[in-house]
Chain A
Amino acid sequence: MNGMAQEKIIFTGPVGAGKTSAIAAISDVPPVRTDVACRGEERAIKDTTTVAMDYSYIQLDDGRRVHLYGTPGQARFDFMWELLTRNGLGLVLLINNDHPEPLRQLDFYLDAFADFIRQTGVVIGVTRMGIADRARLDDYQARLFERGQVYPVFEIDGRSGDDVRILVQALLAVLTI
């Protein structure tokens, strides 16, 4: 994994948050996906899930590529997260608002990627808000306030290129200031 490209943006979040769709929405080529059939609780959410990672890229006008990696959704693959984030540009955290406890998911991922976020930056996209109103955007902001963190939070449709571009735009603002 040491040869993994350095110019990369990491997409993370729980199963069903829309990481694969979000990468596909802005990348130049369809993501390479490693999906397998879900088992257990995950099967209730989706039929297949990413067990290793998603990968695609955006080619810049100078020939360089910004690589887009999606982390495995399941916490049991968290050993890969540190490898994936090494030398990354920043983090896009997608939270599925349809999850029974979306704010706990937020806490979990912010804690899991705390070092990477400290070194770079994060933007949070909340998906599936129209499907379940388990938490409002204000609730996410309030939780971040309790944590003493001011991070960009947006309600998005992970399948929408425009929505994902807004996430990236906010991430770039955070990273370049």
Chain B
Amino acid sequence: MSNEAELRISPVGLDATGHKVLQVVLALLGDEDGIRCALLDADDASGHLVIVDMDSQQGRSVFPGLSSGQVKLLLGGPPASGRNIVSLAKPVHVNALRDMLLKICRRMQVQLDASLHDLKAPAAAPMPATDDTAPAAAPDLLTILSNARREGSVLALAIDGDELVLVNGATRAFAALREGAEERLFAVGPEQLACRQIDEADFESRTHGRTLGALDNLLWQCAVHAEPDRLPAGIGDETPVRLKAWPNFTRQGFRNDYFRIAAALARQPASCAQLVETTGLDRRSVVGFITACNAVGLLVALPPEGADPEKVTPLHKAATPERRGLLARLAQRLGLAQA
């Protein structure tokens, strides 16, 4: 398995016993079945497979925000069905979990290796045969770019065998090989998208003389273009998030709705639901902003108490209604979108 892509597993909401059972199962999978997985930290829901304890508050909070491309194994809770969702009733025994993970991991390993090593991503391999599961989705562009950024991998992205963009996750750079290449990538679905790993030397030689762009810029544009209706993995509607820095709008384009969301998050951490209420913007704008910021590493997801306004000192005072009126008139006078 050493040449295979590593399967990352996120445990979400598992208690101490659940963690021990999972660790035993993963040890058995590695020692006896030859399947090696990386178990991520409890607060990192970015894994290829997310094991969610639906009887926990964290599990219920995180689950709605998981990506459609992630495989979800739900432990306990009410029966659930849907794309890439598998359920396992409690109590969870080692043998039952091992059998389930063995099926899931074998199927996912095939997909993962294919997505990383093949020019043309093959059709998604079917999930284990259960009534409630559908074929796992091919990774979308945002997932591919995010993974490249996180893992420092170097990729060639193509449509119908035509390589359009080279990405270097290690140097956080990309190069378009055709005019309008980025827009073409944004426009196609994951099933038409293909990627393959290339080496650094290949990247260097093929981008020599070309203008290199910032990978974060490509990620941001991709996230905005995708107009996602679901929050990134690990971030639920009620999960408070903190902004680490004001996004570099100079490079990434100006949007007044994003200014408002950034301003709200700069004041104090807030959840998606709170941001919709605070800014008066539609949920899609807020989800788009959170997705874009998360993609470029500007967001930190906090435990639920992080959103408690009494525990956070606002950076500045809120404007009075009279002052808001004045500022709105100023925005109008300067020909700015209503601030």
Q: Find out whether the CB atom of A118 lies under 8 angstroms from the CB atom of B315.
A: yes
Q: A61-B333, A165-B334 are in contact. Are A175 and B315 (CB under 8 A)?
A: no
Contact B319 A60 (CB under 8 A): no
Count B interface residues, CB 8 Å.
40
* Contact B333 A60, beta carbon cutoff 8 Å: yes
Decide: A175 near B250, CB < 8 A? Known: A150-B244, A169-B337.
no
Q: B278 and A177: CB pair below 8 A?
A: yes
0/1 per residue, A59-100, Cβ < 8 Å to B? 111101010000000000000000000000100000000000
Inter-chain contact A150/B246, CB cutoff 8 Å? yes
Name the residue of chain B whose CB is nearest to the CB of A117: B316
Q: How far is the CA of A53 from the CA of B245 in the complex (A)?
A: 32
> Is the Cβ of B326 less than 8 Å from the Cβ of A145?
no
Interface flags, B319-332, vs A, CB<8A=1, else 0: 10001101111111
Contact yes or no, B323 A138, CB < 8 A: no
- Please determine whether A169 and B317 come into contact, CB atoms closer than 8 angstroms: no
Nearest residue, chain B, Cβ from A138 = B248
Shortest CB-to-CB span from A60 to chain B, Å, is 5
A151 with B331: CB separation less than 8 A? no
The CA of A175 and the CA of B317, in the complex, are separated in Å by: 8
Q: How many residues of A contact B (CB 8 A)?
A: 40
Residues of B within 8 A of A177 (CB): 260, 263-264, 267, 278-279, 318
> B207 CB to closest chain A CB, in angstroms?
21
**For residue B332, which residues in chain A have a CB less than 8 angstroms away from its CB?**
61
**Closest 9 interchain pairs by CB?**
A172-B339, A173-B259, A150-B266, A141-B245, A173-B263, A177-B263, A155-B250, A60-B329, A174-B263
Chain B residues in the interface with A (C-beta under 8 A): 243-246, 248-251, 254, 256, 259-260, 262-267, 278-279, 315-319, 323-324, 326-337, 339
A residues in contact (CB < 8 Å) with B: 7, 26, 58-62, 64, 66, 89, 117-121, 137-138, 141-142, 144-145, 149-156, 165-166, 168-170, 172-177
A-B contact list, 30 entries, CB within 8 Å: A58-B330, A59-B333, A62-B329, A64-B326, A66-B326, A66-B330, A89-B326, A89-B327, A118-B315, A149-B315, A150-B265, A152-B249, A154-B249, A156-B250, A166-B249, A166-B254, A168-B330, A168-B334, A169-B254, A169-B256, A169-B259, A169-B331, A169-B339, A170-B249, A170-B263, A172-B339, A173-B263, A176-B263, A176-B327, A177-B278
